[in-house]
């Protein structure tokens, strides 16, 4: 039987600017992005130990796609550069 990490997801719909920060517990996550990229990008970033710098933790999306990433617990945000009509979600992947 799979163990689901309930509530460990964030969804942002029709955005064109960097999201507010959000917290995630450690785990394996799936990220799905669609947008009108127009040369822009969408990047998942994590707040570094200095509590002021965000660092990239997944290669930037420059086209619609899906990727998985193993993340430590922390504070995250999606940085949007130039892209519009961005739909992005990050969700815990069931284990077990």
Question: What is the reported pLDDT for 7?
Answer: 60
Q: 38 by DSSP, 3-state: which?
A: coil
Would you say residue 4 lies in a domain? no
So what's the pLDDT on residue 2? 38
* CATH number of the CATH domain containing 63: 2.60.120
- Domain interval for residue 64: 9-92
pLDDT at residue number 18: 97
Task: Output the pLDDT for position 96.
Answer: 65
61 strand-pairing partners: 42
Q: Is residue 88 part of a domain?
A: yes
Total domains in the chain come to: 1
Is residue 1 situated within a structural domain? no
Chunked into runs of 10 residues, the chain (96 residues) has average pLDDT values of 58 96 96 97 98 97 98 97 97 85
What's residue 40's pLDDT? Answer: 97
Strand-pair partners of 84? 36
Q: CA angle, corner 80, sides to 76 and 83, nearest 5?
A: 155
């Amino acid at each position: 039987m799979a163990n689901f990490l309930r509530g460990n997801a964030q969804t942002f719909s029709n955005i064109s600017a960097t999201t507010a920060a959000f917290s995630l517990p450690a785990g394996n996550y799936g990220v799905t992005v669609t947008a009108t990229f127009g040369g822009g990008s969408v990047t998942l970033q994590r707040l570094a130990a200095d509590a002021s710098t965000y660092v990239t933790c997944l290669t930037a999306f420059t086209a619609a796609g899906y990727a998985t990433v193993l993340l430590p617990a922390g504070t995250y945000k999606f940085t949007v550069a130039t892209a519009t009509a961005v739909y992005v979600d990050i969700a815990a992947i069931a284990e077990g």
